[in-house]
Amino acid sequence: MPEQLVFAMEVTLNGLMTGVMYALVALGFVLIFKASGIFNYAQGVMALFAAMTLVGIQQGRVPFAHVINEIFGTDIHYFGWEVPALLAILLTVIVMIAFAYLVQRFVFKHLVGQEPIILFMATIGLAYFLEGVSDLMWGSEIRNLDVGLPQGINDWIDVTTFEALGYGFFIDNLDIAATLIAAILVMGLIAYSQYTKNGRAMRAVADDHQAALSVGISLNYVWVLVWSLAGIVALVAGIMWGSKSGVQFSLSLIALKALPVLMLGGFTSIPGAIIGGLIIGVGEALFEFAIGPMIGGATENWFAYVLALVFLVFRPQGLFGEKIIERV
Amino acid sequence: MLDNAAEGYVTADGRQIGPVVMEMRNITLRFGGVEAIKNISFDVREGEIRAIIGPNGAGKSSMLNVISGFYHPQDGEVFYRGSRRPPMKPFQVARQGIARTFQNIALFEGMSVLDNVMTGRLNHMKAGFLSQAFWWGKAQDEETINRQKAEEVIDFLEIQAIRKTPVGRLPYGLKKRVELARALAAEPQILLLDEPMAGMNVEEKEDMSRFILDVNDEFGTTIVLIEHDMGVVMDLSDRVVVMDYGKKIGDGTPDDVRSNQEVIDAYLGVAHD
């Protein structure tokens, strides 16, 4: 097999796994957008906040330590215990659910029926507010996140591909784990929305608010539910990205990577978010591999957006989005 | 005739009508400076078909929206099953066993007919979060029972053939029927129908009338309906409230209403001019 082709295969595989990570972030957007028509700009910051909270709980850090020390003149930073990863994840989930409740109770409950642009503005405000809270609560240093996911090169793939193709693929165990977890998460979400009472209520609210009310569904409850789910998805995304490159402010910028994914896959489709993520992941990796060297590299920064623009021109509703039909 | 029948009465065709189940007392509803409903009182008896009629803009739909919690009157009280009902959100009203349909149809267009009807069963689903999430025992039994109920309603309204069709693709008349099916699936005590025959052709109107009578007869469901089409209403209902410009101008059996001079002037008179 020609060398270039083998390299391209490795690039594609890695691109697919990066794509899964993009899809995870996009998924959080889709959940909220579908049920409430809110484009949640804060999704990326939610991932950052969730990851920060997870690390903080795990390491037994005192939340708001800086503020407390400032006021009381103390010097405490740690509780002096360490929380096992699984328990810490569970506690973080509870924090994210509480966050969902507060957001609904104090922000979006009062904005029901407002223009989409106003709701969008509110999420921008929310994003920066949450970033500040995250800073205040846990500090702004880069933190290492380790919840026990495997890391490093996968030896089995390395050896197998070396024997078969004469070149060992470098596939990170973390990416494999992320892919598996993402797959389980997505299947769980789909099953949840298809077969449970709350899932049915979610789909109903996504479809028609008035009809949902008339069959006894509380919109508020469903909105808290979708914000909670989006918070949990943000936590998963935060864990994956955080384990890969540390928990830091730039984590919140992955939200920007989810934008082209959404344009591609459609804002209202869970499968769309997945396929869109994969196309972007593979597309930008292959483009960088094939064309990048000729034009000086760093094409990952913009390729996804160009791809999304092209898609927008030909299919404004995205690959799987609901068709936009205007009756005249 | 009705005043001395606190415990109910028997209709000409032999149906037993029960005591008052819902009472509207001095309801006044304003939108800004406009009074959509002016000090209206009436009651609804168990098992009866109660119609609210009146010309366009008389405030009929507003009244239905007050009953179903979509609007909150500035004055007046709603009594339901003997006690005063505090101001409620529409979903709370629905959970009290009052189901409704809409004049402009509010269905879940992206879902199949069966899924739409199943949403009507939501308030009958109780299985806990974990059991649902993992599809254990209780949730599964419940799903089977609810599915069965939904299928019964689908059979009853003769929409088996379109069970799996996405609602968005159905013609208007069938959508109206699906909406009725969803409301029925909730096994409501009171069923509110907002112009169930609006925009239908003669044949569809006949079908719908038959279904309304059958529902009332078979399940004993109390029905409050708003209609425009006088002929249909007079044939269907046991008692009729007539509204005009937000005021009540008549209340009684179809015959009473027909011979009420004020009603004739305001409504029928115009129609027969």
Question: A216–B115: do the CB atoms touch at under 8 Å?
Answer: no
Contact present, B110 and A208 (Cβ < 8 Å):
no
Query: What integer pLDDT is reported at residue B258 of this predicted model?
Result: 85
CA distance linking residue A220 with residue A36, whole number of Å: 10
Give A324's pLDDT tier (boundaries 50, 70, 90). low
Domain ranges for chain B, please list them.
1-97+188-273, 111-187
A19-31 confidence digits (pLDDT tens): 988 888 898 899 8
What pLDDT score was predicted for residue B233? 85
Q: Is residue A109 part of a domain?
A: yes
Mean pLDDT of A175-198: 88
- Domain for residue A148, yes or no? yes
Is residue A326 one of the residues assigned to a domain? no
Specify the number of domains making up chain A: 1
Nearest to B111 among A192, A207, A213 (CB): A207
Name residue, tokens 């994003």.
Answer: A127
Scanning every residue of chain B, which has its alpha carbon at the shortest distance from the alpha carbon of A216? Answer: B91
Residues 6+ apart with CB under 8 A from A25: A43, A44, A47, A234, A237, A254, A255, A257, A258, A261
Close Cβ partners of A258 (under 8 Å, ≥ 6 residues apart)? A22, A25, A26, A28, A29, A43, A44
| 0.95 surpassed by pTM | no
Contact predicate A189/A274, CB 8 Å: no
Integer angstrom CA distances of residue B86 from B67, B80, B152, B207? 12, 10, 34, 37
Quickly count: other Cβ atoms within 10 Å of residue A126's Cβ.
19
> Which of A94, A197, A217 to mutate to test binding with chain B, by most B CBs within 10 Å of its CB?
A197
Type and span of the H or E element at B177: helix B172-185
Round to whole Å and give the CA distance between B156 and A181: 45
Q: What is the mean pLDDT of residues A24-53?
A: 91
In a domain, A327, yes or no: no
- The enclosing H or E element of B25 equals strand B20-31
Query: Is the CB of A215 less than 8 angstroms away from the CB of B102?
Result: no
CB A65, CB A77: distance < 8 Å: yes
A131-165 confidence digits (pLDDT tens): 999 999 999 889 999 888 888 888 888 888 888 88
**B72 with B87: CB under 8 angstroms?**
yes
According to the model, what pLDDT value does residue B134 have? Answer: 62
The residue type found at A113 is G
Q: Has residue A160 been placed in a domain? A: yes
For residue A222, give the CATH number of its domain: 1.10.3470
Name, in order, each residue with C-beta under 8 angstroms of B54's C-beta and a sequence gap of 6 or more. B60, B242, B243, B244, B267
Contact A215 B186 (CB under 8 A): yes
Residue A235's pLDDT band, with cuts at 50, 70 and 90, is: very high
CB distance B114 to B150 below 8 Å: yes
Residues on chain B bordering chain A, Cβ-to-Cβ distance under 8 angstroms: 68, 70, 89-92, 94-95, 99-102, 106-111, 115, 118-120, 122-123, 125, 127, 129, 132-133, 135, 139, 143, 182-183, 186
DSSP 3-state of B33: coil
A228 Cα to chain B: minimum distance (Å): 14
The radius of gyration of chain A's CA atoms, rounded to the nearest angstrom, is 21
ipTM of the complex: 0.86
Pull the structure tokens for residue A162: 């070396």
Percent of chain A with pLDDT over 70: 97
Amino acid letter, residue B114: L
A143 phi, psi to nearest 5 deg: -120, 145
Give per-residue pLDDT as tens, A269-303: 888 888 999 999 999 999 999 988 888 888 888 89
Q: Is A12 on the interface with B (CB under 8 A)?
A: no
* pLDDT of amino acid A325: 57
Q: Are B102 and B194 in contact (CB under 8 A)?
A: yes
Pair B258, B234: CB distance under 8 Å: yes
Task: Indicate whether A328 belongs to any domain.
Answer: no
3-state secondary structure chain A: CCHHHHHHHHHHHHHHHHHHHHHHHHHHHHHHHHHHCCCCCCHHHHHHHHHHHHHHHHCCECCCHHHHHHHHCCCCCECCCCCCHHHHHHHHHHHHHHHHHHHHHHCHHHHCCCCHHHHHHHHHHHHHHHHHHHHHHHCCCCECCCCCCCCCECHHHHHHHHHHHCCCCCCEHHHHHHHHHHHHHHHHHHHHHHHCHHHHHHHHHHHCHHHHHHCCCCHHHHHHHHHHHHHHHHHHHHHHHHHHHCECHHHHHHHHHHHHHHHHHCCCCHHHHHHHHHHHHHHHHHHHHHCHHHHCCCCHHHHHHHHHHHHHHHCCCCCCCCCCCCCC
Mean pLDDT of A60-87: 90
The residues, any chain, with a CB within 8 Å of residue B83's CB and separated by 6 or more, are none
The CATH homologous superfamily of the domain defined by B1-97+188-273: P-loop containing nucleotide triphosphate hydrolases (3.40.50.300)
Residues spanned by the domain of A213: 3-314
pLDDT of B23 reads 95
| A187 contacts chain B (CB < 8 A) | no
Cα–chain center distance at B59: 16
Whether residue B64 contacts residue B40, with contact meaning beta carbons closer than 8 Å, is answered with: no
What is the DSSP code (8-state) at residue B112? Answer: B
For residue B73, which amino acid is it? P
* pLDDT tens for each residue of chain B, 273 residues long: 444 456 778 887 778 889 999 999 999 999 988 999 999 999 999 999 999 998 888 899 999 999 999 999 999 999 999 899 999 999 999 999 999 999 999 999 989 999 999 999 988 887 555 566 566 666 678 888 899 999 999 999 999 999 999 999 999 989 999 999 999 999 999 999 999 988 888 898 999 999 999 999 999 999 999 987 777 888 899 999 999 989 999 999 998 988 888 888 776 555 444
